[in-house]
Amino acid sequence: MNLALRRYGIQAALVGVAIVWGSTFVMVKDAVASYPLFSFLGWRFTVAVIAFVIIFPRAVRGLRRDTMGAGLLAGALLTAGYVFQTWGLQSTTASKAAFITGMFVVITPLMQTIVLRKTPRRATVVGIVASVIGLWLLSGGATGGWNVGDTRVLLCAIAYSAHMIVLGSVGERHDVLALTLIQLATTAIVCSVIAVVREGFSVPSEQSVIIALLVTGVLASAVAFAVQTYAQRFIPPARTALILISEPAFGGLFGWLAGDVLGVRGLAGAGLILGGMAVSELAGARAPAEEGIALEPSLEGMPVPVIDADNEAGRAAGTGRE
């Protein structure tokens, strides 16, 4: 296949991934309106584990004890993120959830600069400020409109950010496929156990719930990860990130088609959040090599600028890794 044609095809596939991710907000909101939350998540990630092993069978061979420990920690944070997001969707609109979730792209570098006591780059500050103003407008500005569902989704974004920081700290030491499999399995097991204790863990029978499980478990998780992994071989990380950053926009579009209303203020806020995310992504992609910033692939959405904490500590001690 012609290389240029392949690149265009991969970019189209990445757009498809963003569309699928955007569509899941409406699907999940509708599904958990008629089916128990933890049961849905338990089935969703069980399907994701099966699909992932089928697509990446060598992930099982890469399992090691030290990888298990790192995967469990990352998996616990991933579980918290999905629980808060799905719980939040029960009380807020799919459109708002999509844009609030996307805030994890700017929260991650902010959290790392605080933890590492590192002065943030100017572009990072611009991205954070734009996103915070956008979040204020999206939530209704001075007129209010923020609800408990929005708070839960914001906690989801914070959990996702912590998850990305953990991956950025341990990812290079472990097989990425094995690490991802453990995270998916952790989320599946934790949510399934809670479902059995609290909800009885019934088998879904509604067609809409089954479709949502297949789309979120197969397409939005395993297939999306496979597309990102393949794209890394041909497309610069910055371009991949900017394509996938359209996920919240597609989430807003599908929410609008489902009846959500953002209004002029909400649309302005959504635009500022997207702008802040784009600035943060570009800042990470164009950072000098000595700053140790890389775009870390994410299970939840677009890659995120993450500082390699090991490199940072090594440089501080005068023994930075090459």
Structural contact between residues 31 and 209, judged by C-beta atoms closer than 8 angstroms = yes
pLDDT at 140: 72
pLDDT at 121: 74
The model's pTM is 0.88
What is the tens place of the pLDDT at every residue in 85-94? Answer: 999 999 999 9
What is the tens place of the pLDDT at every residue in 208-267? Answer: 999 999 999 999 999 998 888 888 777 777 778 888 888 999 999 999 999 988 888 888
Average pLDDT value for residue range 155-180: 85
- Dihedral angle over CA of 231, 232, 236, 239, nearest 10: 50
Does the pLDDT at position 9 exceed 70?
yes
Indicate the SS3 state at residue 13. Answer: helix
CB contact set of 151 (below 8 Å; sequence gap of 6+): 88
Taking the mean position of all CA atoms in its chain, how far away is CA 288?
A: 25
Q: What CA–CA distances, in Å, run from 134 to 99, 256, 266, 281? A: 9, 18, 8, 17
Instruction: Name the residue with higher pLDDT: 125 or 250.
Output: 250
Structural contact between residues 54 and 118, judged by C-beta atoms closer than 8 angstroms = no
Structural contact between residues 274 and 248, judged by C-beta atoms closer than 8 angstroms = yes
Structural contact between residues 99 and 150, judged by C-beta atoms closer than 8 angstroms = no
Structural contact between residues 112 and 268, judged by C-beta atoms closer than 8 angstroms = no
Does the pLDDT at position 308 exceed 70?
no
Structure tokens at 29: 């909101």
Average pLDDT value for residue range 101-108: 88
Structural contact between residues 85 and 156, judged by C-beta atoms closer than 8 angstroms = yes
CB contact set of 36 (below 8 Å; sequence gap of 6+): 195, 198, 199, 200, 202
- Dihedral angle over CA of 49, 98, 82, 233, nearest 10: 40
Q: What is the spatial distance between Cα 96 and Cα 251, in angstroms, rounded to a whole number?
A: 9
Element (H, E) at 322: none
What is the tens place of the pLDDT at every residue in 170-207? Answer: 756 778 889 899 999 999 999 999 999 999 878 898 99
pLDDT at 112: 82
Instruction: Name the residue with higher pLDDT: 143 or 30.
Output: 30
Give strand pairing partners of 304: 296
- Dihedral angle over CA of 173, 177, 181, 184, nearest 10: 90
